[in-house]
Amino acid sequence: MAVSTSSVITLHINGEKFTLPVDHRTTLLDALRERLDLTGTKKGCDQGQCGACTVLVDGRRTVSCLQFAIAAEGREITTIEGVADGDQLHPVQQAFLDLDGYQCGYCTPGQICSAIGMLGEHAAGWPSAATEDVRPEVGPPPLTVDEIRERMSGNLCRCAAYASIVEAVARAAETPAAPLIDAPQDTKEQAA
Amino acid sequence: MTTTTVTAAPVRAVGRGHVRVEGRDKVTGAARYAGEVPFAGLAHGWLVLSSVARGRIEEIVTAPVLEMPGVLAVLHHGNAPHVETDFVGMMGTRPDPTCAVFQHDRVPHLGWPVALVVAETSEQAREAAESLVVHYDEQPHDVEFSAEDPDARHVDGHMPAVTDKGDLEAELAASAVVVDVEYTTPEEHHNPMEPHAAMARWDEGRLELIDSNQSATWVVGDIAQLFGLDPASVHVRSEHVGGGFGSKGVRAHQVAAVMAARVLQRPVRVVLTRRQMFTLAGHRSPTIQRVRLGAEADGRLRALDHRSLSRTSTVYDFVEPSAGVARVMYDADAHHTENRVVRLDVPSPTWMRGPGEAPGSFALEAALDELAEKCGLDPIELRLRNEPDKGPVSGLPFAARNLRACFEEGARRFGWDRRDPRPGVRRDGRWLLGSGTAGASFQAGALPSTATITAEADGTFTVRIAAADIGTGARTALTLVAADALDVPTDRIRVRIGDSAFGPAGIAGGSMGTRSWSWAVTAASSELRERLVPGMEIPAQGITVRSDTTEAVAALARKERHSYGAQFVEVAVDPATGEVRVRRMLGIFAAGRIVNPLTAKGQFTGGMIWGLSMALHEEAARDAYFGGPVGADLAGYHVATHADVPHIEADWVEDVDPEDPVGIKGIGEVGIVGVAAAVANAVWHATGVRHRSLPIRPDRILTAGNGA
Amino acid sequence: MREFAYQKAADVSGAVALLDADPEARFLAGGTNLVDLMKSGVERPTRLVDVRQLPLDRVESTPDGGLRIGATVTNSDLAVHPDVRRRYPMLAQALLAGASGQLRNMATVGGNLLQRTRCGYFTDLTKPCNKRTPGSGCPAIRGEHHNHAVLGASSHCVAVHPSDMAVALAALDAVVHFETADGPDALPIGWLYLPVDETPHRETALPPGALITHVSLPPAPVAARSRYRKVRERASYAFAIGSIAAALDVRDGVVHDVRLAYGAVASRPWRAQAAERVLAGASADAETFAAAADAELAAARPLAHNEYKVTLMRNLTVAVLSELAEEAGR
C-alpha cells in the first residue's frame, strides 16, 4: 500500500486554528517558523539542549524542536506571540522589558514562555531539584532565587543575562497574570 | 509644526538607565533575525561538511541526490562559481579561506564545507545533504597540540609577536622569589544562541543579503570582493543579531547562499546547524602558557616572562595573543612576552570575547596569586605595588588608569579585609570556601565610522549608522548619545542600524563598537546643530548631515588607552565530588563614561559569567585519531546556565579622560578578563590546590586530590 | 531524516500490531530522545506509531502498598506525584534532577527507560560505533571517554546509560511490564538491560516490537528515607558524571535495610549489590560505608581518563549514606 509521508493537519495556536499540509518530518518549531510565519519561537540548537524554542502545549512548557507538528494536532499551543493580552504585555514580558532580562534577545521568547510555564508549575506546588525536602507534607517550596535558577536552567542565555532574568521572573511572580489559554476560534485555511 | 526646537535643554539621557528601544519587539517575538524574513520562492540550502580531517575530495556522487524530492541543486568544487580571495579586507587581513567555499578539492580539516544541497524545503534539503556520498583520498592528519611542537612560529596578528626588554635570566637569577608555572586553556566556542544564518537574493544585478553579523560594512566589503562586485550593488541588512562574540563575520554560509542564489536565480537561505557551528564559526584556540615571575621579597617585580602558544589551521594564520595582556598590566626590570602559533589540521580559530586577554589574564593573574602566596603578601597589595606609571612595553602615558580605584572599591564592597589568607581552612557543611581576586584590562580602541542624521520635518531626528546591536544595547546607547548631542528628549530620536546602505561603520567587536559609533553620531550631531537655526523651517525631506570620523580617529594622540577592572569571586568546593560552585561575584570597572547603566550592567555581568563559564565548564573535546570534535553540541559543550550563576554584582568607578573626544569606552570584553584567574585563585584558597588547567571540572578536582 | 508514515495508535494491541507488521517502525511518545536521534540519523524509522495518547498515563497505588506507573506518565507528573514524593523520595529527586523542566514535561516513563546513550561517538554518524554499527569499533576507548563507564563495560563499548530515573527504579526493584503480539509480559528492571559483552547494540531484553505499558514498584518502606544525588559538570541541565540512589533504614546503629544504585558508571543503572551485602546488618558508620563502596568498586575497570569516577562513587556512597544515617539518628 502507498505510504503517506505527509498529511493535512490542524494546529491550535494562540487561540486560532491553522490548517496546513505538512511533511511528517516537520517539527512543531519549523511549522511555526517556516510555515506559519510565527518566528518569535527561536531555533537555537534544534536538539532540546538550549530551550530557545520553548512553547506552551496544553499550558505546559515544552521544547518545540523535539515534537513533530503532526503529533501536536489537537493540542493547545501558545507561543510568544500569544502571551500578551492585545497591547497589554504579560507580566513576565513586562518584567523582562523593565529589568533588561535579555541582551541579544534570541533566547528571550523561550525564557519568557518557560518562565510562564514554570510559574504555573510552582503555583501547582511542584518541587524542583533545588527543593530541600520533596515530601508533600512539607508543603510547596517558596520561590527563592535558587528555586528560580534551578527551574529556569533549561533555558540557556549565552549573553548571560541570567541575573536580570531571575530578577524579572521574581518580579513577575508577584504579579497576577490572566489565564493564557483561550478556546480556539475559527479555522484559518493556510495556503498549501 | 515644522520648526526646530534644539534650544530646549532636556534632562541628560546619557548616564540614566533606559530600557532597550527595541525591547518590546524582543519580548513579544516581533523582532526578526536573519533566518526569519519570509520571501516568495525561498529555497533552503544545507551545507555538507567533510568527515575527514585531511585529504582530497575524489568524488561527490550527486546524481542520486539530485533525484531526491525537492532537490534543486548540489553545489561543490566542480560546479561552484569562482570567488576571489586575493584581497585585504576591512579587518586588515586576507579573508580566512574557510569562507571561500567550493573552490578546490583539498580538505584541510574535519568539518570543511564540501557541498551545498539546495531544496524546496528545509526537511528535503537536510535529508538530501545527509544522503550525499563523498569519497575522499584521506591523508594523515595532525591535530595534537603540544608545547614541544617544533613547528611553532612567532606570528604578529594585530600586535607584535615578541616584546623584550632587559636581561630576563639575570633578573630571574637575582630575584628573591620566583614563580615558574605552566597554564593551559582549552578550545572554546562562541556558541551565540542564534546560529549563523543568511538569505541571499539577486534582483536586477543587485545582491541583497539578510544576514546575522557584527558588521554590515565588513560583510558588504568582503562579499563584493569575493564575487567581484561593485560594493554599491551589494546590500546587507542585519537588524537583529542573536549574539556574536566574535564569530559573526564573513563565513561559509553567506558565501554559499550567494552562490546558490546566483545559480538558481531564487532567494536562498542557509542556516548553520549547532553542530556545524563547531567547525565553521571559528573558535578560541587552546593555549599553553608559561609564566615566569621574579620578584623582590616585597613583591616588586624584577622579571616578567609570559609566553603563549596557540593553534591555527593550515589555511589561515590566526594568533590568540595571550601574552599581550602583560604588556599593559605590569612592568618589570626585565620584561619578555611572546605569542607563538602552531599550524594543525583544525578549523581556523578567530576572535572570541576577550581575545588574548581572556586566556592570557588567566595565566598572568593566577601566577601573580602564586607570587603573592610565596611573598606572604595580600594579592591586591602585590598588584598595587606593581602599578606601572607608563606603558610597560610602549613607554606611552596612560590616557587613564583607574585600576587602583577598582581594587579599593571592590575590596571594600566584597569585604576583602576580613579575608583569612590561609588556604583550606573554611568549611560550610560539605563545602570548602575560598575567595579570589584578579585584575582586568581591555584596550579602548576606535574604528572610523560614518553616520547620517536627518532633522525631520516633524521635529524628530533619524540617525542612520551601519552599527550592529548584537545584544550590547548599542541601538539604545546611540539613541541616548544622539539625544544629548542634539539636546532633545530620547523620544525624538530614531536610530536605524544594521544596514550597509547607511555607509561604512566600524564593527561590533573589540569593544570598539559603541565608542566608534558614538563618535560618528556626536560628530554628525554637532554639524547638524550648526545647520539648524532656531525657528527655521525644515523641508519635507528633512535636513541631513553626514559625518566621517576617519581623520579624527587617525589624529588621536598615541597613548595607552584601556578599560580596567577588579574581579572578586567566592567559591565553594566539595572535595568529595569535585563540584565547584561560585557563590558570589563582584566586578568593579573603570571603563569611561557609562552610557546606559541598565544595559551596561548586563554587559559587565555577562562578561563575568563568561569568565565563570570558562573557568568551570567550557572545553571542546577533539578526537586525535579522527581529528574532529566529539560531543559538538550544547549538551557536550557546557556553557553556564541559570543554576551556575550566583549573586553577581557589577559597578563602576569614575574614569575620565578629558582629552578623549568620546569619553566612552567599550565594555563588552573587560568583564570576562581575569575572572577565570579569580575563580582558580579562589579554588586554591578553598582547597590549597592550584588548578592551572581550565576548566576546573569535577574530574580535575578529584584527580588533583587534596595535596598541593 | 528520511520520510516516514505517522499513525496514532488507537489502543495498546493496535500499537503492538503496527510495530509487529513493520520492523522499521518505532513507537513515538515524548520524543525527547527519538526525535533528536532521527535528526542526527542514528534512528531512521519509516513509520512512527504515536502512543502518547494511549490510556497509560495513570499513577495508581496498588493494594500491597506499591505503585503502578503508566508508561506514558510524564517525568514531571511522576516526580510531583504525592505518593512518589512521600514513599519514594529518591525517585522524585532522580526525576527532578533529569534534563530540564521542558523536557520533563514531554518525556515519558517508558521512553526514559529506553533512552539511548549520549556518547559523542554514538550520536555522530561519521564515526564508528559498535552500538550503532556492530563490528565497526569503539573509538571512545582510546578517545574522549572522561564520562564513560567504569563498571560492566567491555572492549566493545564503554558508553553509559544516561537515565537518572532508572537508577532510582533499579534501587527500588521496579518491574517493567510490556505488551507484544503474544500478549503481556514483564521483566524485573535488573533483567531489562543486557550486559554489554560483545553485543552493545543489543541493549534490552525486550522482544522486538514490545511496548512498555507500565512499571510497578513493590512496597519499599526503606525508601521513605532515601536520596538521589547527582554530580554533573554544571549545576543543572546536564547529564550525570556520577549519581547515586540510596535508601537506608538504621535501627540501633545497625543497617536494617538498604538500597543502593549508581548512575553514569555503566551501560545500565548499576544496582550496587556487593555494597548492599557488606552493609546488611553492619554498623551504620562511615567505615562500613567506605568498605561497602570498595566492595562494589573492586570490579571497576577505569580507562585512561575516567579513573576519577571510582573516587567519586566511593565518596558519594560514604557521603549520602552518612547523611541518611545521621538523619535516622535524629
pLDDT tens over chain C, length 330 residues? 999 999 999 999 999 999 999 999 999 999 999 999 999 999 999 999 999 999 999 999 999 999 999 999 999 999 999 999 999 999 999 999 999 999 999 999 999 999 999 999 999 999 999 999 999 999 999 999 999 999 999 999 999 999 999 999 999 999 999 999 999 999 999 999 999 999 999 999 999 999 999 999 999 999 999 999 999 999 999 999 999 999 999 999 999 999 999 999 999 999 999 999 999 999 999 999 999 999 999 999 999 999 999 999 999 999 999 999 999 887
**Angle at CA of residue B110, ends C306 and C121, nearest 5°:** 35
Rg value, chain C, Cα: 20
In the predicted structure, residue B8 carries a pLDDT above the cut 90: no
CA dihedral C265, C270, C275, C277 (to 10 degrees): -160
Q: Do residue A95 and residue A165 come from a single domain?
A: yes
Q: Do residue A95 and residue A52 come from a single domain?
A: no
Nearest to A61 by CA among A143, A133, A118: A118
CATH code at A95? 1.10.150.120
> Any CB–CB contact under 8 A between B644 and chain C?
yes
Domains defined along chain C, listed by start: 1-50 (3.30.43.10), 222-329 (3.30.390.50)
Preceding amide of B695 cis, omega within 30: yes
Alpha-carbon distance B487 to B466, whole Å? 23
B623–C241: do the CB atoms touch at under 8 Å?
A: no
3-state class of C105 per DSSP? helix
> Any CB–CB contact under 8 A between B642 and chain C?
yes
> Any CB–CB contact under 8 A between B597 and chain A?
no
Give a three-class secondary structure readout of B296-318. Answer: CCCCCEEEEEEEEEEEECCCCCC
Q: Which of B233, B252, B280 is the last residue of a domain?
A: B280
In the predicted structure, residue B622 carries a pLDDT above the cut 90: yes
φ/ψ region of C245 (left if φ > 0, alpha if ψ in -120 to 50, else beta) reads beta
Residue B18 lies in a domain: no
Per-residue model confidence (pLDDT) at position C235: 98
> Which residue range(s) make up the domain with B542?
23-31+447-553
Per-residue model confidence (pLDDT) at position B706: 62
Residue A1 lies in a domain: no
Q: Do residue A100 and residue A158 come from a single domain?
A: yes
Q: Do residue B272 and residue B419 come from a single domain?
A: no
Alpha-carbon distance B592 to B516, whole Å? 13
Q: Do residue A60 and residue A107 come from a single domain?
A: no
Residue A113 lies in a domain: yes
Residue B82 lies in a domain: yes
Distance from CA of C8 to the nearest CA of A (A): 8
Q: Do residue A163 and residue A99 come from a single domain?
A: yes
Alpha-carbon distance B323 to B320, whole Å? 9
CATH code at B83? 3.90.1170.50
Per DSSP bridges, beta strands A60-63 and B268-271 are: unpaired
The residues, ordered by sequence, that sit 6+ positions from B71 with a Cβ below 8 Å of its Cβ are B65, B117, B118, B119, B124, B125, B128
A39–B195: do the CB atoms touch at under 8 Å?
A: no
> Any CB–CB contact under 8 A between B541 and chain C?
no
Q: Which of B536, B553, B570 is the last residue of a domain?
A: B553
Nearest Cβ partner for C89 among A114, A135, A150: A135
Chain B residues close to C312, C-beta within 8 Å: 577-578, 698, 702
Q: Do residue B687 and residue B663 come from a single domain?
A: yes
Residue A122 lies in a domain: yes
> ipTM, 2 decimals?
0.97
Nearest Cβ partner for B644 among C41, C143, C234: C234
End-to-end, the C-alpha distance of chain A in Å comes to: 25
A25–C3: do the CB atoms touch at under 8 Å?
A: yes
> Any CB–CB contact under 8 A between B698 and chain C?
yes
> Which residue range(s) make up the domain with A132?
91-173
Residues of C with CB under 8 A from a CB of B: 1-3, 41, 118, 120-121, 124-127, 139, 142-144, 146, 231, 233-239, 241-242, 305-309, 311-312, 315-316, 318-319
Residue A101 lies in a domain: yes
Nearest to C242 by CA among C307, C145, C312: C312
Per-residue model confidence (pLDDT) at position B46: 98
| Helix A162-173 and helix B597-616, axial crossing angle in degrees, nearest 10 | 120
> Any CB–CB contact under 8 A between B587 and chain A?
no
Residue B434 lies in a domain: yes
Q: Do residue A99 and residue A44 come from a single domain?
A: no
Alpha-carbon distance B112 to B105, whole Å? 11
Q: Do residue B563 and residue B549 come from a single domain?
A: no
For C108-165, give the DSSP string: BHHHHHTPPP--TTTT-TTS--TTTSTTS--GGGTSS-TTS-SSS-BTTB------SH
Q: Do residue A45 and residue A107 come from a single domain?
A: no
Q: Do residue B467 and residue B542 come from a single domain?
A: yes
Alpha-carbon distance B339 to B356, whole Å? 10
End-to-end, the C-alpha distance of chain B in Å comes to: 76
Nearest Cβ partner for C233 among B626, B698, B702: B698
Chain B residue closest in CA terms to A51: B193
Nearest Cβ partner for A63 among C28, C52, C103: C103
A153–C31: do the CB atoms touch at under 8 Å?
A: no
Q: Do residue A67 and residue A102 come from a single domain?
A: no
Mean of all residue pLDDT scores within chain B:
96
B641–C237: do the CB atoms touch at under 8 Å?
A: yes
The total number of structural domains in chain A stands at 2
Chain C residues close to B624, C-beta within 8 Å: 143
Alpha-carbon distance A163 to A140, whole Å? 24
Nearest to A91 by CA among A165, A164, A172, A166: A172
Nearest to C213 by CA among C185, C244, C181: C185
3-state class of B60 per DSSP? strand
Distance from CA of C242 to the nearest CA of B (A): 9
Q: Do residue B370 and residue B484 come from a single domain?
A: no
B:C CB pairs within 8 Å? 92
For C165-215, give the DSSP string: HHHHHHHTT-EEEEEETTEEEEEEHHHHBPP-TT-TT--B-PPTT-EEEEE
Q: Do residue B591 and residue B494 come from a single domain?
A: no
Residue B115 lies in a domain: yes
Q: Do residue B126 and residue B224 come from a single domain?
A: yes
Chain C residue closest in CA terms to B621: C144
* Locus of grid cell 533525484: B67
In the predicted structure, residue B689 carries a pLDDT above the cut 90: yes
Chain B residue closest in CA terms to A101: B602
Q: Do residue A19 and residue A73 come from a single domain?
A: yes
Segment 245-284 of chain C within 8 Å of chain A by CB:
none
Q: Do residue B116 and residue B221 come from a single domain?
A: yes
Alpha-carbon distance B494 to B476, whole Å? 10
The total number of structural domains in chain B stands at 3
Dump strand ranges (E) for C12-144. Answer: 25-28, 47-50, 59-61, 67-70
C235–B581: do the CB atoms touch at under 8 Å?
A: yes
Residue B331 lies in a domain: no
**Percentage of residues of chain A with pLDDT beyond 90:** 89
Q: Phi and psi (nearest 5°) for C203?
A: -95, -35
- How far CA B429 is from CA of B576, B705, C25, C100, C236, in Å, comes to 12, 19, 52, 27, 21
Interface test with C, best of B430, B623, B634, B644 (most C CBs within 10 A): B623
Asked whether the beta carbons of C124 and C143 are under 8 A apart, the reply is no
CATH code at A14? 3.10.20.30
Per DSSP bridges, beta strands A60-63 and A54-57 are: antiparallel
Q: Which of B532, B553, B574 is the last residue of a domain?
A: B553
Alpha-carbon distance C230 to B698, whole Å? 12
Residue B7 lies in a domain: no
> Is residue B120 among the annotated active site residues?
no
Q: Do residue B500 and residue B415 come from a single domain?
A: no
Nearest Cβ partner for A49 among B20, B240, B633: B633
Chain B residues close to A89, C-beta within 8 Å: 24, 27-28
> Any CB–CB contact under 8 A between B702 and chain C?
yes
Q: Do residue A54 and residue A96 come from a single domain?
A: no
Sheet with A6-13, edge to edge strand ranges: A60-63, A54-57, A76-78, A6-13, A16-23, A187-189
- pTM across the whole model: 0.97
Asked whether the beta carbons of C7 and C18 are under 8 A apart, the reply is yes
CATH code at B387? 3.30.365.10
On the CB side of B54, CA atoms within 13 Å amount to 15
Interface test with B, best of C38, C39, C124 (most B CBs within 10 A): C124
Q: What confidence tier does B91 reach under pLDDT thresholds 50, 70, 90?
A: confident
Asked whether the beta carbons of C215 and C140 are under 8 A apart, the reply is no
